[in-house]
């Protein structure tokens, strides 16, 4: 198996046909076609269903693409690093973040550090991806650390710390429920509910808390999206109300959107992971500590999580909430 064969395969996957893949790689169509065919012969299974002018991945092709993509990413990383070594550059700090935490907590902490003492010398690679992929990046050694939402299977990764804070509800500023200090979820009525798509049991439970059992009433309308920004833009457009993690709520405040706590315990858990056999650089350790310090100081009701990465079942602020409700 040759690298050029994997490159040809990945290019066809991205471009959708052999001709466009050839343009991407600056190779002729016949060369790309032959390299893919040679790869299929070596593998012993077909990668593409060929229906000209387009091609689609077979079931085996999909599974192989998941593996090949990681190999090519590692090779790209190796190529980039070799150039940096040749120039005498310090090793970059590689951070793998969930999409939401990369755009909120990580960005905010880097901004604070830049104002005092920058956390990296020459280069920082901040990649955003699903949390499960961030775990793979750390496990494979392609990232120094991961900032992820939990719970999730950490594999061999070491959990540096975990913490949790309650989710909030994003709603239009002139919404009737915005007058409440805490949104009564039972009073959402016919509101369209916007949630993040995620297969973990925790996210499912959070979404269920908003959708709820409504007796004989029709099921509440529900929009599921993979993007926090999309969810907030839908709220701004007055399409519905959204369940939002507290880190995004702290750092992203669109015009016309307000955040309110819910009247029940909806924990959102995050964690920082590293490779168990890899010595942390001073840069990585400073960033890990700064993430904790920022979350502890700035995120409302943020508390240390369980070492297992599971959410605390009971609201750690239950007594305080009860007192506020009685005033």
Per mean pLDDT, which of 22-26, 200-204, 305-309 is the most reliable? Answer: 22-26
| Contact between 227 and 178 (Cβ < 8 Å) | no
**Residue 217: inside a domain:** yes
Q: How far is CA 189 from each of CA 97, 205, 206, 257, 259, rounded to the nearest angstrom?
A: 35, 19, 17, 19, 18
Q: What is the rounded average pLDDT of the residues 170-187?
A: 91
Q: Are residues 138 and 280 in the same domain?
A: yes
Q: What is the rounded average pLDDT of the residues 58-75?
A: 84
Q: Are residues 76 and 99 in the same domain?
A: no
**Residue 30: inside a domain:** yes
CATH of the domain at 294: 3.40.190.10
pLDDT of residue 15: 85
- Domain end residue (candidates: 87, 110, 132): 87
Asked if residue 326 has pLDDT above 70, the reply is: no
CATH of the domain at 52: 1.10.10.10
pLDDT tens readout for residues 102-146: 999 999 999 999 988 888 877 888 999 999 999 999 998 889 999
User: Residue 101 half-sphere exposure, CB side, CA atoms within 13 Å?
Assistant: 27
Q: Are residues 148 and 295 in the same domain?
A: yes
Q: Are residues 107 and 251 in the same domain?
A: no
Could you give the number of structural domains in the chain?
3
Q: Are residues 121 and 251 in the same domain?
A: no
**Residue 308: inside a domain:** no
Range of the domain at 121: 93-153+270-303
pLDDT tens readout for residues 2-61: 888 988 998 888 888 888 888 988 899 899 999 999 999 999 999 988 877 778 899 998
pLDDT of residue 324: 52
Q: Which residues contact 164 (CB under 8 A, 6 or more apart)?
A: 267, 268, 269, 270, 302, 303, 305, 311, 312
Q: Are residues 175 and 248 in the same domain?
A: yes
> Could you tell me whether strands 303-304 and 168-172 are parallel, antiparallel, or unpaired per DSSP bridges?
unpaired
pLDDT of residue 201: 46
Residues making up the chain, counted from first to last: 327
- Domain end residue (candidates: 243, 265, 287): 265
pLDDT of residue 327: 45
The SS3 of residue 126 is strand
**Nearest Cα to 34, choosing from 62, 67, 63, 8?**
8
**Residue 315: inside a domain:** no
Q: Are residues 149 and 279 in the same domain?
A: yes
What does the block give as tokens for 188?
């959402």
CA–CA dist 178, 62 (Å, integer): 46
**Residue 322: inside a domain:** no
Listing DSSP states for 154-212 in one string gives -TT-EEEEEEEEE-EEEEETT-GGGGSSSB-GGG-TT--EEEE---SHHHHHHHHHHH-
Q: Are residues 187 and 242 in the same domain?
A: yes
- Residues above pLDDT 90, as percent of the chain: 49
**Residue 212: inside a domain:** yes
| Contact between 69 and 133 (Cβ < 8 Å) | no
- Domain end residue (candidates: 63, 87, 111): 87
Q: Are residues 81 and 14 in the same domain?
A: yes
Q: Are residues 148 and 284 in the same domain?
A: yes
pLDDT of residue 55: 85
Write down the mean pLDDT value for the chain.
Answer: 85
């Amino acid at each position: 198996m040759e690298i050029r064969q994997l490159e040809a395969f990945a290019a066809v996957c991205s471009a959708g046909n052999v001709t466009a893949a050839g343009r991407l790689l600056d190779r002729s169509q016949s060369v790309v076609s032959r390299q893919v065919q040679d790869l299929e012969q070596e593998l012993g299974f077909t990668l593409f269903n060929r229906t000209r002018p387009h091609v689609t991945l077979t079931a085996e092709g999909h599974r192989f693409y998941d593996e090949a993509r990681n190999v090519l990413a590692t090779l790209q990383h190796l190529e980039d690093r070799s150039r940096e070594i040749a120039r005498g550059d310090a090793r970059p700090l590689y951070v793998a973040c969930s999409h939401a935490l990369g755009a909120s907590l990580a960005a905010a902490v880097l901004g604070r550090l830049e104002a005092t003492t920058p956390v990296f010398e020459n280069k920082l690679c901040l990649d955003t991806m699903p949390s499960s992929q961030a775990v793979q990046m750390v496990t494979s050694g392609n990232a120094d650390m991961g900032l992820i939402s939990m719970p999730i299977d950490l594999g061999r990764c070491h959990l540096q710390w975990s913490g949790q804070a309650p989710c909030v509800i994003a709603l239009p500023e002139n919404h009737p429920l915005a007058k409440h200090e805490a949104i009564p979820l039972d009073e959402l009525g016919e509101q369209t509910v916007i949630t993040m798509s995620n297969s973990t049991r925790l996210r499912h439970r959070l979404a269920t808390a908003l959708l709820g059992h409504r007796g004989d009433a029709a099921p509440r309308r529900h929009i599921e999206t993979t993007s926090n920004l999309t969810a907030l833009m839908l709220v701004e457009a007055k399409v519905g109300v959204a369940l939002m993690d507290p880190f995004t709520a702290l750092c992203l405040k669109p015009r016309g959107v307000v955040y309110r706590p819910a009247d029940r315990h909806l924990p959102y858990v995050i964690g920082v992971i590293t490779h168990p056999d890899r010595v942390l650089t001073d840069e990585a350790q400073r960033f890990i500590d700064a993430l904790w310090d920022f979350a502890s100081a700035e995120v409302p009701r943020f508390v240390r999580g369980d070492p297992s990465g599971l959410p605390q079942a009971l609201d750690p602020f239950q007594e305080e909430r009860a007192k506020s409700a009685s005033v």
